[in-house]
Structure 1
Amino acid sequence: MTRQLRRASASIGYNIAEGCGRHTDADFARFLQIAMGSASEVEYELWLAKDLGYLSVASHDRLAEQAIEVRKMLRAFIDRLRHRS
């Protein structure tokens, strides 16, 4: 579970970086959408870790709040790219 959480977390940044190398806003937005999917995966894995007793409620709440904030930032970035195009 730890490995999967780390993989999903790293995937967020990887997809943002890969999208930066694209030539159009539409391509970049597509990679940001993929990053958003990874952020949602992280959020689910945090819930699962809490439910299975691997993560305290306090730790879950703090980390889930950060994951939600990342998703909000990605959503705002995607919307801005799409309105700019």
Structure 2
Amino acid sequence: MEKQKVYNLEERTYLFAKECRLLVRSIPKTLSNIEDGKQLIRASGSVGANYIEANEKLGDKDFLMRLKISRKEAKEAQYWLRLLGDLNGASKAEIDELTQEALELRNILSSILKKQNSSKTKQ
């Protein structure tokens, strides 16, 4: 059953972080899963936290920097999800969904950055 997409980006990044945490809870507690899971939890939470910070910007440079960090963290989350997916076949479908969501978040953040940069060049 496919989940309905959320279009509020703050909420969507929150749900991504939440789903990553639920995934980490569900996989076997091997040393590599624990360490990779910690990294995934940090990166997935940072996507939303930095996006929220961007929305409370101190200026245009701060806004752009926070968006870039958020995008970078989404890419990092993809890395940790890939490792976890390769080592936890039973959770592969769930991990693939989260990997796709991380990619979509990166694409959305990239689009926002491009729009901001293009509006800057027009001024």
Could you list the structure 1 runs, at least 4 aligned residues long, displaced by more than 6 angstroms after superposition: none
Contact map agreement 1:25 1:81 (CA 8 A) in 2: no
1:37 equivalent in alignment to 2:99: no
How far did residue 40 of structure 1 move? 0.6
Q: Which runs of 5+ in 2 are unaligned?
A: 1-35
- In structure 2, give the amino acid aligned to 1:66: E
Report the structure number with the largest CA radius of gyration. Answer: 2
Partner of 2:92 in structure 1? 57
Q: Cα–Cα, structure 1 residues 22 and 65, in superposed 2: closer, same or farther, change >3 Å?
A: same
1:21 equivalent in alignment to 2:21: no
In 2: Cα distance, 1:40 partner to 1:2 partner: 15
Structure number with greater CO (CA < 8 Å, separation at least 6) is 1
Q: Cα–Cα, structure 1 residues 53 and 17, in superposed 2: closer, same or farther, change >3 Å?
A: same
How far did residue 78 of structure 1 move? 0.6
Q: Which runs of 5+ in 1 are unaligned?
A: none
Question: TM-score scaled by structure 2?
Answer: 0.62
What is the aligned-residue RMSD (CA, Å)?
Answer: 1.6
How far did residue 55 of structure 1 move? 5.7
Contact map agreement 2:85 2:91 (CA 8 A) in 1: yes
Deviates more, 1:43-52 or 1:53-62: 53-62
Identity score, percent: 34
